[in-house]
Structure 1
Amino acid sequence: MIEGGGLGIVAPTEIGPIETHTRNGVVDIHVANEEEAVVAAKKYLSYFQGPLATWSRHDDASLRTLIPEQRTRVYDVRTVIQTLADIDSVTELRPTFGIGIITSLVRIEGIPMGVIANNPAHLGGAIDADASDKASRFIQLCDAYDLPIVSLCDTPGFMVGPEAEEHAQVRHFGRMFVTAASITVPWITIVLRKGYGLGAQAMAGGSFHGNAMTVAWPTGEFGGMGLEGAVRLGYKKELDAVTDPAERAELEASLIARAYENGSALNMASHMEIDDVIDPAESRQRIRAIVGDYVPWRQRPGKKRPMVDTW
């Protein structure tokens, strides 16, 4: 077809390589052979068939040690997902596309759910255009089959700057908000660390107040943007007025410390900006309390959504 259309001569091996189509998000799950494909397909379809009667879980207390106390240390959020979910119940979709957000089908106490999570190992958890598209399509998939959504938020916000604008960031970022506004399944947000800016609001389904529940682990921190940058911009006049470098650094450090105190999870909860600060070991219990009993999507007459986007 390529050669017949006058588009040049291309070797057959250059068309449709799996590396290309996993990287660009065409392929959801990459397997090595037909046997693995059958296993993956059965597991994938099982999430849409209802809860399991038997399941096993990790020790809830192990969730307490997964987020480093040093707030600048990176951690593997996939470990958080695996520990939160039932053992061997996680299926990650499109892992090499839109890597700033991880999308996984999971089970919690046998109930199928969808998890979206910021990836702090990529852009510090910032959300770019591909990650927005990946999350938006996954949200549609969960809603179409009545799978509750658990959002693990740790983001400094949406990716900004000239390069981000080249990728039509506003259109892609806006898709997350529009998609979240169209769903009816429970949306539960757990802020693991950073809950900054509009990116955090997108991870909360549009608003910390508009979903089924927004809670934070004790490591949670909140702000309109990164707090160091907010201090340097908001207090620029005061900082510039201090001529001694040591005094200026001391003043900046004290202002940043105060910003972190004001933006702490406990302070946010005390002002009812979020529902609660919870012991990480309580996360599964809180999720199940909100989700309640599973309601089979087949009990609904007709389709809930006319389609799930292909992109």
Structure 2
Amino acid sequence: MDIRPELLELLARRALTEDAARPEAVERLHARGGRTARENVAALVDPGSFVEYGRFVTAAQSDRRSDDDLLDRTVADGIVGGLATVDGRSCAVLSYDYLVMAGTQGMRGHAKTDRLLDVVARLGLPTVFFASGGGGRPGDTDIPLVSALDVTTFAAWARLSGRVPRVAVVDDNCFAGNAVVAGCADLVVATSRASLGMGGPAMISGGGLGEVAAADVGPLDVMTANGVVDVVADDDEAAEVARDLLGYFLGPREDWSAADQTPLRDAVPEGERRAYELAPILETIFDDDSVLPLRPGFAPELCTALARLEGRTVGVLANDTRHVAGAVTADAGDKAARFLQLCDAHGFPVVSFVDTPGMMVGPEAERTGLVRHTSRLLVAGASLQVPMIGVVLRRAYGLGAQAMLGGGLHEPLMTVAWPGAHLGAMGLEGAVRLSMRKELEAIEDEAERERTVRELTALAQAHSGALNVARHAELDDVIDPAETRGLLVRLVDAAARDGRLVGSGRTVDTW
């Protein structure tokens, strides 16, 4: 069959936009361990589902380059984007193209992005953005520019906060405007190849701040410790991790399984001074292979995670006693508050597992802005529209416990405790030493004084035990740990009467 000239021209032009048209550049990228923009998209979405926008756009540099050079060297103006499906559910995907001028942001590329973000807003589509690139690109001469500050892309992307789930992926250098794309997202996935910063080497040098290699601007170990990165992926699995992460926002899963719950009865050690692993508890209670910690290297004393409960996504908040005994620090307050906002915006019920001696205290802690940062957790908890369920594992002391429970024991939809748990206004031994200070000072023999402290602490423990707290109607119930999962399922089902909880749609703080 004869092909009409206009169709032949289309097919030839389309071929120029494919990776096969630039094999040497693709080979160099692969040698560095990278993926092309189109490979990122293909790894993320269902096969055959991608509908592309702006494929034929080239850089606005016709005053400087020939048409052949623009078609060859500025493919799609450095960004590939469109609509697709993931696990059969509609989403949007954008990927800066590192093979086009290091993934820098051109003016026509911004226009393409704005067009697609408008479609995302209209349809309410979850979005994955592969953000790596060098930031704004000078040299677009076809569009008259002076400041280039009237770009609308950043505001359009930020305005989607709370309205649609947004995942950013960073698998290479990601500076300036590209870093803003990552920083404004709800969740950031990064690999060991990532270097993330508000300014790249050229900007650092131009500002008189010395010469810095791109890899040293914001390497992965820095960005995980400071909380910028939520999830770390292997170098060749970033798209797959983003796909899994996006799945938590795409609705319930029908296929799920769960572990035997009886080991929970011995999961928490007796006594209050022994730390323990939190992960086995969460992995037992929630669906198999569904617990995904977020920002685990930042404020590790407080775990935030997404998980599933009979296929439905929930948010998990939990004190980790292996780090500062599970006390709520300034960083923990920030981490938890932002996580609660994320859950609230997207309709995820929150389960809070409490084992804390309270807020961190002391002069060093106060130098971190503790009062303000930990109070963020209280404000976020009190503002929740989604249900919170509280489970006291062992200790629930002071303002730290109240903050973990939305402000108080009766703020959650239900607050229960496991056997052996203790609750109080502060750590029991500290409370004894404070309230009985004069009486203890009157005991001259130090050994006798400490024996008295132990006896009084034992009495306080008996009084503050979970069963006694429940007897006074401060707790809703004390349960067999093996019953926890079943209880959570029934409570979440009751809260989601129509089968789904609707999120608040409110803006999620970037921090």
Give the structure-2-normalised TM-score.
Answer: 0.58
Equivalent-residue separation in structure 1 for 2:454 and 2:295 (angstroms): 41
1:151-166 to structure 2, matched below 5 A, reads 151-166=352-367
Deviation digits for residues 229-285 of structure 1, max 9, x if unmatched? Answer: 111111111112223334323322211111101111111000011101100011011
Partner in structure 2 of residue 27 of structure 1: 229
Equivalent-residue separation in structure 2 for 1:109 and 1:102 (angstroms): 21
Partner in structure 2 of residue 214 of structure 1: 415
Query: Of 481, 486, 492, which residue of structure 2 is paired with 1:285?
Result: 486
Higher RCO (CA-CA < 8 Å; seq separation 6+)? 1
Kindly indicate whether the alpha-carbon contact (under 8 Å) linking 1:118 and 1:154 is maintained by their aligned counterparts in 2: yes
Partner in structure 2 of residue 117 of structure 1: 318
Partner in structure 2 of residue 308 of structure 1: 508
Kindly indicate whether the alpha-carbon contact (under 8 Å) linking 2:229 and 2:295 is maintained by their aligned counterparts in 1: yes
Equivalent-residue separation in structure 2 for 1:69 and 1:7 (angstroms): 54
CA drift at 1:10: 1.6
Residues 308, 241 of structure 1: CA spacing in aligned structure 2 closer, same or farther, 3 A cutoff?
Answer: same
Amino acid at match of 1:72: R
Amino acid at match of 1:110: G
* 1:100 equivalenced with 2:324 (yes/no): no
Partner in structure 1 of residue 271 of structure 2: 70
Partner in structure 1 of residue 351 of structure 2: 150
Equivalent-residue separation in structure 1 for 2:250 and 2:430 (angstroms): 47
Deviation digits for residues 12-57 of structure 1, max 9, x if unmatched? Answer: 22112111111111111011213x2122112111111111112110
Question: SS at the partner of 1:50?
Answer: coil
Kindly indicate whether the alpha-carbon contact (under 8 Å) linking 1:186 and 1:290 is maintained by their aligned counterparts in 2: no
Equivalent-residue separation in structure 2 for 1:203 and 1:286 (angstroms): 19
Partner in structure 1 of residue 87 of structure 2: none
Partner in structure 1 of residue 373 of structure 2: 172
CA drift at 1:295: 4.0
Partner in structure 2 of residue 5 of structure 1: 207
1:235-246 to structure 2, matched below 5 A, reads 235-246=436-447
Kindly indicate whether the alpha-carbon contact (under 8 Å) linking 2:332 and 2:374 is maintained by their aligned counterparts in 1: no
Equivalent-residue separation in structure 1 for 2:228 and 2:298 (angstroms): 9
Kindly indicate whether the alpha-carbon contact (under 8 Å) linking 2:318 and 2:353 is maintained by their aligned counterparts in 1: yes
Equivalent-residue separation in structure 2 for 1:275 and 1:306 (angstroms): 30
Question: SS at the partner of 1:116?
Answer: strand
List gaps (5 residues or longer) in structure 1. none
Question: SS at the partner of 1:286?
Answer: helix
Amino acid at match of 1:133: D
Question: Where does structure 1 differ by over 6 angstroms across 4 or more consecutive aligned residues?
Answer: none
Kindly indicate whether the alpha-carbon contact (under 8 Å) linking 1:155 and 1:194 is maintained by their aligned counterparts in 2: yes
Deviation digits for residues 75-123 of structure 1, max 9, x if unmatched? Answer: 1111111111111011111010011100110011111101010010000
Aligned residues between the structures = 306
Equivalent-residue separation in structure 1 for 2:368 and 2:353 (angstroms): 25
Give the structure-1-normalised TM-score.
Answer: 0.95
Deviation digits for residues 127-148 of structure 1, max 9, x if unmatched? Answer: 1111111111111111111100
List gaps (5 residues or longer) in structure 2. 1-202
Equivalent-residue separation in structure 2 for 1:199 and 1:185 (angstroms): 21
Deviation digits for residues 168-218 of structure 1, max 9, x if unmatched? Answer: 111101100111111111100100011000000011111101110110000
Question: SS at the partner of 2:207?
Answer: coil
Partner in structure 2 of residue 189 of structure 1: 390
Partner in structure 2 of residue 38 of structure 1: 239
Residues 250, 48 of structure 1: CA spacing in aligned structure 2 closer, same or farther, 3 A cutoff?
Answer: same
The structure with more radius of gyration = 2
Kindly indicate whether the alpha-carbon contact (under 8 Å) linking 2:346 and 2:505 is maintained by their aligned counterparts in 1: no
CA drift at 1:219: 2.4
* Bigger mean CA offset, 74-83 vs 193-202: 74-83
* 1:84 equivalenced with 2:285 (yes/no): yes
Question: SS at the partner of 2:290?
Answer: coil
Cα RMSD for the two superposed structures: 1.4
Partner in structure 1 of residue 454 of structure 2: 253
Equivalent-residue separation in structure 1 for 2:402 and 2:327 (angstroms): 13
Equivalent-residue separation in structure 2 for 1:295 and 1:166 (angstroms): 46
Question: SS at the partner of 2:204?
Answer: coil
Kindly indicate whether the alpha-carbon contact (under 8 Å) linking 1:67 and 1:219 is maintained by their aligned counterparts in 2: no
